[in-house]
Every structure is written in C-alpha cells, then in structure tokens.
Amino acid sequence: MQKVIKSNWVIGNWKSNPSSLTQAKNLAKEIKAIDFDKINGQIMLMPTNLHLTSVIDEMQNSKVLVGCQDVSFTSDTIGAYTGDCSAEQMQAIGAKWTLVGHSERRTYHQESEKQLIAKIENALKNGLGVVLCIGETLEHYEKNQTLNVLQKQLSILKEVQKLENNLDKLIIAYEPVWAIGTGKVPQVAEVENVHQNIHEYLLTINANLAKSPILYGGSVNADNVETFAKSDWIDGVLVGGASLVADKFASLAKTFFATKK
Ligand code: PEP
C-alpha cells in the first residue's frame, strides 16, 4: 500500500517530571535555546499541569509547541471535579494539544472508553488537538492479539461527535505498554505492520481520518530513533524518559528530522 505523506512529530512527554518548577523552567529554557529552525516538522513538549503555564511562557516565540497530558472527562468547563482540569482551562492557558488515553492513565486511573470519548470530544470542542495513545500489553503481544486490541482501542473514534470537522487535530500514538520505560523496543518491521494496520482500520471509519499522523512511542532514544525515522510508516515519536535531558532530546529530535528529509 502506498503511504500518504503526513506531518512529522517529535513529542516529549515529561510525565510527573521534573521535581521542581525551577528544573522545569530550566529544561524548557535549554530546549528553547536549541536551533530547531530548519526542522521539517513539529516538536512538542507535554509538561505536568503544575509546570504548564511556565513552560508555555518559556516557549513564547519558539517553534516548540506545548500541550498537556490529560483533560477532564466532564464537558463542564468549571465545577466540582477535584483534581481535574477542563479542556477549556487548558486551552485558555495556551495548551495546543493533549494526550488522551496514555497507558499510565488507562492503568492507574482505570479510564473507561466512555471517559476517553468524552475527553476527546471536550478537547476538540475547545480547539485542542488530541494525541490518542493506544497499545497492547505484553500478554496481548505474546498471545498475538496486538491488532485486535488496537482496533478495539481505536473503535472509540466511531463514537466521537464532530470528529469529521477536526480531522487535522488528531494524532495516533502507538505505544506498546511493554516498551514504555523498559528499554525494550519492537522490531521496526513489527511497528510498520502495526502502523499499516492502524491506517487501514482508520480508513474503514473515515477516509480522511486515515490522514492522521501515526507515531511510535516506547523507549525511543537518540541512539535508536534513526531506525524508526527511516520508516515511511512512522510519522513521529512520542518520547518519555529521553525527553528529560535537553541535549539528548535535541539530538533525538535532530536525528529524527534529518532522517525524514
Ligand atoms: C511514554 O510514556 O509515552 C514513553 C514513550 O515513555 P518512554 O520513552 O520513557 O518509554
């Protein structure tokens, strides 16, 4: 199958790091100082909610976008939802995109399909782009159930209202749960097969939906990123641990975009 040309992305998910606001500002400053002007794609950082405003401020007048790691399931823009931030609040402080359904949220917060659909709708309604994370566990992988699991996770897109008006606001991030933070990575050929399958499945929902970039995530670093970047089926990488040290992240991002040229 001929691959559709899509935008390229390198996204840093800072998770619950670093430990202080000063460290977060310093990391943002160091990343801002890197010359990303000639890259042919998008770089985005996703800090904690606590550090979001400061990182957005640091990144003013830079090529680096800033997004958040989650939004509330509720369509209420304010209210009695302890610990939640609404998509409207995120948009109002300058976040551009949000992760939805990261495996750590699915695991530690038992996020249901209904909640994920609501989060995607709230994000899109408030102008935020959505990076929908999907991925199989080691057990699913070993039982050869990866494609079934991913199709089930993607099937929630059929329920998202008004998705057809927001098709440029969706990125799919394929992150095998067993590869996140473990140093283990699948073979590129395996990722390519999965991405092709995701593309074909999206086509069955909506032809335009299949234009969404499909990223790989899970133990990507400056040493292995070139292998992923070489594949036409991999439109970007979602990076956790290796996004927390500015020069390593810079080297990873530069290698990725240089390989994509
Ligand atoms: C992630 O959490 O999205 C991720 C890919 O983490 P890591 O790069 O540390 O495996």
Whether 221 lines ligand 1, by a CB cut-off of 6 Å, is: no
Say what the pLDDT of residue 180 is: 98
CA of 80 to the centre of ligand 1 (A): 31
Q: Provide the token pair at 260.
A: 């994509």
The continuous run of DSSP H or E covering 49 comes out as helix 49-58
How far apart are the CA of 172 and the centre of ligand 1, in A? 14
For residues 101 and 116, is the Cβ–Cβ distance under 8 A? yes
How far does residue 78's CA lie from ligand 1's centre (Å)? 31
pLDDT class of 17 with cuts at 50, 70, 90: very high
User: Which pair of tokens denotes residue 96?
Assistant: 């551009």
What is the value of pTM for the model shown?
Answer: 0.97
In this structure, what are the phi and psi dihedrals at residue 71, rounded to the nearest 5 degrees? -135, 165
Taking phi over 0 as left and psi of -120 to 50 as alpha, with beta for the rest, 103 belongs to alpha
What digits encode the pLDDT tens for the residues 166-195?
A: 888 999 999 999 999 999 999 999 999 999
Residue nearest to atom 8 of ligand 1 (CA): 240
Kind plus residue range of the DSSP H or E element containing 124: helix 113-125
Residue type, 83: G
Instruction: List, by residue number, the catalytic residues.
Output: 102, 175
For residue range 128-158, what is the model confidence (pLDDT) as tens digits? 999 999 999 999 999 999 999 999 999 999 9
Ligand 1 proximity of 237 Cβ (cutoff 6 Å): no
